[in-house]
Amino acid sequence: MLSYPFMQNAFLVGTLIAIVSGFIGVFVVARHMSFLSHTLSEIGFAGASFGLFMGWSPLVGMLIFTILSATTIGELGMEEGRSESLISAVSAVAIGLGIAFLALSQKNASAATSILFGSIFSISHENIIQVVILAVIVLVVGLVCYRPLRHFAFDYNTAIFSLKHIVWIEVLFLILMAMTVAISSQIVGSLLIFILITLPASAAMRWGRTVWQMIGLAILFGIVGVWSALILSYWTNVPVSFYIAIIEAGIYFVSLINKDE
């Protein structure tokens, strides 16, 4: 199985994405932004189809769209009260745009499916290099800014008084999140972004007692899910996204049962 180059690529990219999503996911869930991350992935869908329409790689279009909208959100400031309806409106527009660009680009249905549900087995060499570079950037920046990000995500009420450049931290965080969304959707697709960013982190945050424990568990859950899904998908020919979804949701449901001290 591992002698096929497409399987080696899938394992390499999948593992890297599981690490990045687990790391950023913990902060996303702690800061109560999982809904926003989902919206970003819908914006990413619009970006990816725009990329196809322009003849670029979908990942490039996705990055441009998600980063632009993440920084706009940062500029607007996340006002809690109205953000939910705002986010719904934005995601409606994004999906509409995505469908429009897809139709205009005159690609076949498989292009749409791979954006929406992921296509890790057919990932191109160029794409792999892009994903690796982006993942390394996110991880390095995330590690260097670990301390402010941790306070920002886990105790926002004091972080706004304690961190001098809170707006910059917020924008930086949204950009990291946008990049994570863009690379994660290479595996699970933009529709299923919850699977790798939100679910492993949410489960990890019911067991972890320190932020590092939570990050470690989230990465572990992510990797377990991705690896088993790749193997199962190889044997059964059912899409990887399906297995990852089932495994990550399963881990999360088990974590709900856990009520120990």
Site of interaction with another protein (CB under 8 A): 30, 143-148, 150-152, 154-163, 205-211, 261
User: Among residues 126 and 155, whose Cβ is nearest to another protein?
Assistant: 155
User: Among residues 7 and 137, whose Cβ is nearest to another protein?
Assistant: 137
Burial status of residue 244 (CB atoms within 10 A of its CB: 0-12, 13-18, 19 or more) = buried
DSSP string over the chain: -TTSHHHHHHHHHHHHHHHHHHHHHHHHHHTT-HHHHHHHHHHHHHHHHHHHHHTS-HHHHHHHHHHHHHHHHHHH---HHHHHHHHHHHHHHHHHHHHHHHHHHT--HHHHHHHHH--GGG--HHHHHHHHHHHHHHHHHHHHTHHHHHHHHH-HHHHHHH-TTHHHHHHHHHHHHHHHHHHHHHHH-GGGHHHHHTHHHHHHHHH-SSHHHHHHHHHHHHHHHHHHHHHHHHHH---HHHHHHHHHHHHHHHHHH----
Distance of closest approach, residue 179 Cβ to another protein, in angstroms: 19
Distance of closest approach, residue 221 Cβ to another protein, in angstroms: 16
User: Among residues 146 and 234, whose Cβ is nearest to another protein?
Assistant: 146
User: Among residues 210 and 237, whose Cβ is nearest to another protein?
Assistant: 210
Distance of closest approach, residue 213 Cβ to another protein, in angstroms: 9
User: Among residues 125 and 164, whose Cβ is nearest to another protein?
Assistant: 164
- For the record, the structure tokens of 82 come out as 């109205």
User: Among residues 108 and 210, whose Cβ is nearest to another protein?
Assistant: 210
Distance of closest approach, residue 136 Cβ to another protein, in angstroms: 15
Distance of closest approach, residue 234 Cβ to another protein, in angstroms: 35
Distance of closest approach, residue 156 Cβ to another protein, in angstroms: 6
